[in-house]
Every structure is written in C-alpha cells, then in structure tokens.
Structure 1
Amino acid sequence: MSVPDPQDSQGVSDPQAASDPETSDPQAWIAADPDPRTRAELRALTPDELTERFSHTLHFGTAGLRGPVRAGPSGMNVAVIVRTTVALGRWLIDGGHAGSRVVVGRDARHGSADFADACAEVLAAQGFDVVRLPGTTPTPLIAFCCRDLGASAAVAVTASHNPPADNGYKVFVSGGAQLIPPDDTQIERLIATAAPANTVPRTTVSADDPWAAANTERYLTRLTNRFGRVPRSPVRIALTAMHGVGGALALTALRRAGFTDVEVVPEQFAPDPDFPTVRFPNPEEPGASDRLLALAADVDADLAIALDPDADRCALGARIGGSWRMLTGDETGALLGRHLLAATDLDAPVVAGTIVSGSLLQAVAEATGARYARTLTGFKWLVRAGEPLLYAYEEAIGHCVDPVAVRDKDGISASVVAALLTHERVSAGSDLATALHELFVEHGVHVTTQHSIRVTDLDRIADIMAGLRTHPPTTLAGISVTSVDYATRQDHLNTNAVELSGAANDPETSVRVMVRPSGTEPKLKYYLELVAEPRESDVAATSARLHALAVDVIADLPR
C-alpha cells in the first residue's frame, strides 16, 4: 500500500485504529460520543457500514486534520475534535506552554461552528488563555493573530478549498507558521491515548474578546503600513469569494489601498457551505472561475481576483491576447515576486518556491541579485526557507507576500499586492498581459501545467512510482530525459518524488516533469514545465508550441 509522504500529509486516512482503544471498539466510541446527532448517526448504520467507519482514522498530518464531516473516527465530528484538542493541549503543556494564549477561529463550512466551540472549550478547560475569534474568519487572519498576539498556537477550523462534504482542523504554532514533523507525530500519539470524548472537561469561552475585536483592524493597518495606498485608483477589479469567508475583508482591504471600483460575483459572495455554483470550490478547478471571467469581460475590468473559500489562496485573471483567462500560479508567482523585488530595500532578500513550482521566479531572482530557495511542497516549508524572507509562493495559487506579518499563504494581502501591481501598469498605459510578456521575453517562455491520476487503489500509485524508479522513461515527446529520485537525496529536499528532465536543441526547449503522490488525496500528480526562448520575440507562437508539446509529454507519461 502506498504511504503518504510524511513531509506533506494532511488529514488523509490512516489504518491504525487498533492502536487506539477508543477507535477499535465502535460501541465504546458511540457511548462516549458527546454529540447526540453523531451518536444517532452511528446507531443507524448497518454492521458493514459501521465496520467501514471504524476501519481507519483521520491521520494527524503536518497541518492537522481534514476529512468528511461524518460520525466515527474516520470523519470530522465533535468527538474527533475534542480528542484531538486534548492532545494538542497536552503537547503544548509538555513543551512548557501551560497557560499560554491560543487562538481559535473558523470558516463557514458544515460543522465549523460546533468544532470551533469544542476546540476553544477544551483548551480553556486545560488552562489556556483562549482567544476565540467571533463569527467566521479567513484563515490568514487566524495566522496573523497567532503571530501578532504572541500565541503559542492557533487552530483554524477549515477545509480550505475541499469539496462541500469536508472539514478540517489546521494548526499553527508559535510564530504563526504551520506545524511540521516531528511535532505532528507526537500529537498523533497523544490522540491515541486521549480519554473518551464525553469525559473531557470543557469550559465555555466568550467570543466577545477585546483582542479578537481588534484583530481585523490590526491586520488591515499592517497591510496599509506595509504596501501603502494609492489615491482612488482607476483600476477596475472583478472579484469572487467562491462562497467563502474572505469577500468582506478583501473588499475592505482593497478599499483601504485605494481600490474602490470592485465588482463582485454576487451569487458567490456570501458564505455558503454547500458551494452551489461550483463543483469544487477551488479557483484552480476547470470552470470554477467562469463566472468571474465573464464578469471581468462584462465590466471591462483590469484585474480578476478569485479567493478560495477560506481566503488563504488567491488566483488572478487577466486579458491575454484579447481574451480573459486565469493565470497559472507560476505566472502569478513570477509577477508578484518581480513586483516585490523591485520595491524592496532588503539586503539579499530571499524568495522561495517548491520542487513542483516553475523556474521563472528563480530566473527573476537571479537577475536581480536576490537569493532563491527551493523547498518541499507546502507553506510549512516555504516560510522557513531562509531570511530575510521577502516572498514565497507555491504553484497551487498560494502566496505569502508579507511574511513579517503572516507566515503562511494569504489571499487577502496577495489581492492587494496584485491590485497595486495592476495600478502601476495601468497608470503607465500598460497591463498585466504586457508585464507577463516582458517576463517571457527576458527569461524565456515558461509553460507549466499539471496532470493527475485519481485512483481507488493506492497500490496503483505505489506501482507507478516503483516503475519510475526502476525503469524510468528515457524520452518524453521525443526529447531525451534523465531521472532523479528525490527519495535518495541526502539534503532537505528528500521526499517521495521523481524528476524527469531533458532538453532539445532544435528548437531549444527544456522539459521537466516532477512526479509525486498527493499528500491529501488519492492521486498521483505530474507537474510539467516547458521552457523556450521566443523566436524573434514571438511569445504567443512559442507559448502555443509549448502547450502542444505538453499534451504530447502527458501522453507519454506512465499511467
């Protein structure tokens, strides 16, 4: 069976229920479930259904838990939250943080309110000074509060951009960055020894906290202090909150930065846990941003912005070659990175991407004398890439534009930076398409894309990875390639991944494919990058050729 990469796991199921007496005895679990709704749900299951619910538990990964909202140890429910929080509290106490401040916030998904209440109440009963953020809160605001208040930890109850049936439990530690190994495994061991959920003490926590009430204002003030504002910008922005919790804060942040001409996708603006207008509430998914792009075209916008449901990710759309399209995360990363590098006064700033990110930002950094750091996937690694960290991004539309304030991806602050970049361009009679064109002319046309294989049997992923290691392809689309097994690396990039790369001379074109199992879904993921110099500065023709080549490369990949 394929084992998820321990560097990257996040809420995937783990068949280790037998190590935990509570999860190996369904009747004991039912008796100890403090929520009458989930007790009734389990009692109504058939014996086979009950066996399936107790065949595995949610694995506590490097960012916490994520899974379907349902009863039993394999789902997100109050009993699981209570036992997880007891373990988190014990881990903090064992680490010398007894009585310290801990922040708790939530999104608007099914179950989030009850889960956040349970989390806050368990921590309060353990003696922690709990700051319970009121209502719904974008995840980057929770990360900001953790860092700003000097909290020892923060919990965001969210499943980010997962399907509607899911929820999650994301942990930040002192300094506001995500949890990393081996701390996650230590907490998981403590979960396995937690007392029955209905015996865990809980103390009511008020959300009417003076720290919490001022949290949003401090965040917005930081944005203005860091990036400034322009006097009533003429830039017109189209924005969607993707049925999530970031819409209102994004509008306020943009308004304070000088952007008052913002049109929103009305049917996607208010939080809705059912996400009725999208199949998957992820701006990266095909079709998810169609309404945004249509709005941008209708109102003749200069910039389109799509937040994911908890607003930690930000995707940008622009008019390219006369048509609106969403930019890739790598294109956005290079644009924002160049903008921030041009404005910084830091000496030898660090910008960072991951092993699956494209190389365009690296080329930009090298041209400006900045240091480029490459990390494993995930912001838990990106924000620890080096100092002074100026900017970090991942191809999955995550951007950390102000690591001094938020040590994680932040779609709100990224939206403000994107708007300021657009204002700079529009004021000079230019646009984002021209900015991207300039990057390609200077550093070569970079085309990045993905291909995923979703499986029902994880052995299939293991078999493909084993084949790539023992008999890797020697050509892809006619280009000779060599392989590098990242599992054999002796440095910080050691992980379960294989890289295939090569180049052709006529015309000069490089190809790189990174292959790795997903840490959150039953998928094998191929990340492709193709790079070529534009012939006679014909970026459009070169881009079209590389996109066609990418299709041929994908056809040659093991499946």
Structure 2
Amino acid sequence: MEPINASELLIQVQEWIEYDPDPETRIELQNLLEQNDLDALHDRFSGRLTFGTAGIRGVQGGGPNRMNQLTLRRVAICIAKYLGKDTSVVIGYDARKNSQTYAADMANVLSHYGVHSQIFTEVVPTPLVSFAVRQQSANLGIMITASHNPATDNGCKVFLSDGAQLRSPVDTEIDERIEMSQLPPREISTGAGKVQEIETKVWDKYCSTIANTVRGVSGSLTIAYTPLHGVSWKTVERIFELVGVTDVVTVQSQLHPDPDFPSTPFPNPEETGSLDLLFEVARNSKADIAVANDPDGDRLAIGVPTTNGEWRILTGDEVGALLCNRILESTTGQNRKVVSSVVSSSLIGKIAKEAEVEHSQTLTGFKWIISEAYRDPTKKTVFSYEEALGYAVCDSVRDKDGISAALLFIEMAEDLARKNLTVLDQINNLSLKHGLHLSRSQALRISEQGSLSQIDFAARLLDRKPPESLGGLHILEFCDYDQAASTAGLLLPQSNMVRLILETGIRILIRPSGTEPVVKVYLEKIVKVEEGQDIDHERSLTNFTFDSIEEGLQKYLKEILTG
C-alpha cells in the first residue's frame, strides 16, 4: 500500500469508524483521532492484513492492519462472492477474545450473500474444522484462531473443500477481491443462507476416527499433558478414554481455555520457558512422556526424561523422524509417500529411501505440504511434517494435527518401552543408521519494531559480500536457494531464501518473517557416529557451534538490513 498523507489518513479513519460494527474498536480509533496520534493511526491504516503461510492473523484493534470484525467481514464477503449462492461453509472458533463473536458475524454475512453456514456451538481445535469440511461435504471451512500467537492477536484459517488450507490460486483470488472491495455497511441483515449448528456427532466421529488410527496402545505409560490454556483438552481427554490411556497428569493451571494465557504470554511450545510448568508436573509425577498442544491443537511438542533426571524437549525434526520411522515400519505398499518442507531435516529423506518410499519436499507451510501430498492420486501419502512442530499422520485430517500425532507418538513410545528402549534410545538408533542429524530453527530479531520487507530479500543479501566466516567456520557457498533447488531438480515456487554451506557441511537457510522484524534461520549439521560414541557430547559441541553461528549471523544481518 502506498504511503498516505495526514489528510488522506484522517479521511480513511473516519470512513472506517462509520462502517465499523464494533463499538470497542470505534472508540479506540476515535480516541486516537482526538489525541491526534497520527503515528498510531498510520500503523493501523498503512496496510492491511493478508493471507500468509497459515491464514490471516494479527493484533486485534481498529483499522485494516488489525484483526477486527470489519476486517473479517470483508474476508467473509469475498469468500461468499468466490463460492456463490447455495454453497456451504463450516465455521469453528477457539477461546480467544472475540473468537465466538467473529464466527457468528461471519456466518451472518455469509447468510446475507446466500451461503449456508454450519457452525460449531462451542470452542474446538483447528484439526476438527479440517476434518469437518470433508465430513459435512462443505465447500470451505473457516477457523477463527490466532493459533500460538500472543493473547493480543486473533485471526482465521481457511480450508478448501478437500480439508486442506487455502492455497494458490484461490488465496490470491480472494485477496484480490478484498483489495478491490468497498467497506460493507454497519448493519448486515440475514439472507437466504441458512445458519445451522453442527451436531456433536461430528466431534464424536473425529474422536473415534483418530482413536482408530492406533492399534497397540495399552495405557502403560504415564503421560503429562498441557493444552497451554487452549481448546484441545476436552478432545484429547475423550480420545485417550477411547484408546485406554488413563494414567494422565495435567497442568491444572493451563488445562482450561483462557484467552489471557496467564502463565505463558507467548503460548508457542517452541518458546523458551513455555513448557516449564509441564516439565515440573512431569518430574513430580515421574511421567514417561510430556505432551503439549499449542492453543488451537494443530501442533505437538514432546518432552522426555534424560538419564540425569532432567527433561528435554525434542526438536520438531526429532519428533518428525520418529513418527516417520514408526509409520513406515507399520505400513506397506509400493505407492507410499512422505512429504516434508525444505527447511526440515534431511533425515526424513534417508528414512524414506531405506524403506523404498518416495519423499517430496515443499516450501514451508502446510498449505504447500498438503497440496503436494495429494497432488498425485496414485500415491498414498502416509506422513507429512514441517520442523515447526506440525505433523499430519492420517488421511482423515488434511492439515497438521497435534492431537492425532500425540496419540501415534504415545503408541510408539509404549512399543519401545516393551522392547526396553526409550525415545532417546530410538533417536540414537536412527543416528547410528543414518548419521546424527542436528538441526535448529531460530528467529533472529533484527529491530525492535516494524517488519522486514520481503521484496527482493534474497537479492539484497546476495548483493552484499558475505562474512568471511561464521562460528569460526569458512563459508563455502552463499547463494539464492531457488537456484540451488532448481539445480537439484526441485521445482518449487519462489522461496525468497538464501542458502549457506559452511565447512564441516553445516547447512543454513535464511528467510524473512514478513510479519515481524525477524529473520528465520534454519541450521543443520550431519555427524557420522558409531556404536559406543558419546552422541550427547556431539550434540553439545554442535549446539555450541550453532550458538556462535547465530550470533555472527544476527550481527551481519542487522548491518545489511538496517544499515
């Protein structure tokens, strides 16, 4: 969006206030006008929220660059115009502030334009909406959630009729409609579209379907669990009951939905400290596994005890490798396929190759992953994942599902225990067979406010001379990832990433966040290990090297991107 001058800004603010149906955000903007706070107003009107890798989300407040009722009305109208009359949409919502209000209002807007809505009557996890779209033969699904974002945020995820996330070219078409649309009136009447409540049998069907994805669960392990103040516990509890997992200890202070997330301001399982209460409960109860879902239930974090009595959170790549190996060991068929993102560990490809199973890679984001997973109907995709704690382990949910993934992980851990093996033993076994794959993803903050332009991000870095070394290691390769991918035979959309290869073979991928002033960095190192070797020592050495590399990268990127 082009910069706007003060007079144009004030006109836009007044117009927004006129059409905004929410008195709270109207008052917010009116107060900013009276205070003549042009900086705050410009921040709210200098752009608008758009669809990203996982829907549209942002801080709640007034204006097009905030999440609010009017922003979502524009989304609903353009979805309705895209779908046409007498189509149907499934709508779910989480427990965040305004989620239920947004869901009901979007259903009313869709009704006005002749689109039927099937809406859940209580909070649900995101995977249930993906499941319900196909179960109810709907044309589209909407989930009101900001996933693992802070309490200030909200948003919506959109699913197409196949249960997979909104993707190209449909996302572009809807977004272009939003860009060209006028603000809708404050009062929108109900129309020919019917608004119906979704019966509890859909939730029951999801629970029974997920429960039936495992066969060997005995309930022999003690599980520590937290939904991080989110909406998953009711569903998880029911599925555990169905399969016989009864020895479950929970983080009571985080068990029930709370839009304020009082004990974890950043309810992202990847955030340092977010699982401290879970590990405390796990230690006190002598649990075998610690399980966490993010607030909307589509991601899974796992913690396991170490030999010294401490607890260690597994990386997304470690969980991905374990689940992939489990599924390939327990399934058969020449047409099996696994899919992972290009920033995820290369270990998955080696596990798939050993099992003679096709492995495909995509850009990060499940809208790309699921699209590739079901691109060829002659293939049977049995597992998909990305390193950011997202796993798809069954065909019934065509999106990442932290609940079904948790159940499969528990089944695997029980099977290992019967063989007198721990989860960490199994990770080491995979390392002995395929090499120790050490990976880390990190968001490096470049400035304290604003966002980084994604335009020509890779070119801006490549135009400058790279540092001579990172972490004391010389840089052997510094290139556009798209070029490297093309050379390797990977046909992918533009990634806007840069790839570095350091001596000792450390691979680094760098991309901008776009919504925050951070750069996402993905590191991987592969170490050959042998029986009897101290693998934990190798991990410690590599993590120390990763720390040093990140420090050097942050300094370099700040100079390039803010200098």
TM-score normalised to the size of structure 2?
A: 0.89
> Aligned to 2:186, which of 198, 202, 221?
198
1:483 and 2:483 aligned: no
Task: For 1:205 and 1:478, locate their aligned partners in 2 and report how far apart those are by CA, in whole Å.
Answer: 62
Instruction: Confirm or deny: 8 A CA contact 1:244 1:271 kept in the other structure.
Output: yes
CA shift at 1:467, angstroms?
A: 5.3
> Aligned to 1:408, which of 396, 399, 408?
399
- Secondary structure in 2 aligned to 1:362? helix
Match of residue 494 from structure 1? 494
Match of residue 561 from structure 2? none
Task: For 1:32 and 1:467, locate their aligned partners in 2 and report how far apart those are by CA, in whole Å.
Answer: 41
CA shift at 1:409, angstroms?
A: 0.5
Instruction: Confirm or deny: 8 A CA contact 2:131 2:206 kept in the other structure.
Output: yes
Task: For 1:86 and 1:106, locate their aligned partners in 2 and report how far apart those are by CA, in whole Å.
Answer: 18
Q: Which amino acid aligns with 1:301?
A: A
Match of residue 342 from structure 1? 329
1:529 and 2:524 aligned: yes
- Secondary structure in 2 aligned to 1:434? helix
CA shift at 1:88, angstroms?
A: 0.9
Task: For 1:328 and 1:133, locate their aligned partners in 2 and report how far apart those are by CA, in whole Å.
Answer: 33
- Secondary structure in 2 aligned to 1:58? coil
CA shift at 1:466, angstroms?
A: 4.1
Task: For 1:458 and 1:213, locate their aligned partners in 2 and report how far apart those are by CA, in whole Å.
Answer: 42
CA shift at 1:452, angstroms?
A: 2.4
The size of the alignment, in residue pairs, is: 532
Instruction: Confirm or deny: 8 A CA contact 1:153 1:172 kept in the other structure.
Output: yes
> Aligned to 1:283, which of 261, 264, 269?
269
CA shift at 1:180, angstroms?
A: 1.1
CA shift at 1:203, angstroms?
A: 5.2
The alignment yields a C-alpha RMSD, in angstroms, of 2.4
Task: For 2:413 and 2:108, locate their aligned partners in 1 and report how far apart those are by CA, in whole Å.
Answer: 44
Task: For 1:119 and 1:267, locate their aligned partners in 2 and report how far apart those are by CA, in whole Å.
Answer: 32
Match of residue 516 from structure 1? 511
Instruction: Name which structure has the greater RCO, CA cutoff 8 Å, separation 6+.
Output: 1
Task: For 2:476 and 2:194, locate their aligned partners in 1 and report how far apart those are by CA, in whole Å.
Answer: 60
Provide structure 2 residue ranges, at least 5 long, that are not aligned to the other structure: 374-378, 558-563
Match of residue 12 from structure 2? 25
> Aligned to 2:94, which of 94, 107, 110?
107
- Secondary structure in 2 aligned to 1:383? helix
Match of residue 438 from structure 1? 429
CA shift at 1:162, angstroms?
A: 0.2
Match of residue 540 from structure 2? 544
Q: Deviations for 1:60-110, whole angstroms, at most 9, x for unmatched residues?
A: 3354321111122221111111121001111112xxxx3122100000001
Match of residue 283 from structure 2? 297
1:247 and 2:218 aligned: no
Match of residue 139 from structure 1? 126
Seen in structure 2, the aligned counterparts of structure 1 residues 50 and 550 have a Cα distance that, compared at 3 Å, is closer
Identical aligned pairs, as a percentage? Answer: 35
Match of residue 172 from structure 1? 159
> Aligned to 2:49, which of 45, 55, 58?
58
Instruction: Confirm or deny: 8 A CA contact 1:303 1:317 kept in the other structure.
Output: yes
CA shift at 1:151, angstroms?
A: 1.1
Task: For 1:346 and 1:424, locate their aligned partners in 2 and report how far apart those are by CA, in whole Å.
Answer: 22
Instruction: Confirm or deny: 8 A CA contact 1:154 1:172 kept in the other structure.
Output: yes
Q: Deviations for 1:309-358, whole angstroms, at most 9, x for unmatched residues?
A: 00000000011333211100000000011011111123231111111111
TM-score normalised to the size of structure 1?
A: 0.90
Match of residue 366 from structure 2? 379
Task: For 1:245 and 1:260, locate their aligned partners in 2 and report how far apart those are by CA, in whole Å.
Answer: 20
Match of residue 36 from structure 1? 23
Q: Deviations for 1:9-51, whole angstroms, at most 9, x for unmatched residues?
A: xxxxx66899xx9996221221111222222222122232434
Task: For 1:427 and 1:311, locate their aligned partners in 2 and report how far apart those are by CA, in whole Å.
Answer: 29
Task: For 2:305 and 2:107, locate their aligned partners in 1 and report how far apart those are by CA, in whole Å.
Answer: 45
Task: For 1:392 and 1:219, locate their aligned partners in 2 and report how far apart those are by CA, in whole Å.
Answer: 19
Match runs of 1:416-427 below 5 Å = 416-427=407-418
| Deviating more after overlay: 477-486 vs 314-323 | 477-486
Task: For 2:10 and 2:54, locate their aligned partners in 1 and report how far apart those are by CA, in whole Å.
Answer: 22
Task: For 1:517 and 1:253, locate their aligned partners in 2 and report how far apart those are by CA, in whole Å.
Answer: 38
Instruction: Confirm or deny: 8 A CA contact 1:64 1:184 kept in the other structure.
Output: no
Task: For 2:132 and 2:9, locate their aligned partners in 1 and report how far apart those are by CA, in whole Å.
Answer: 34
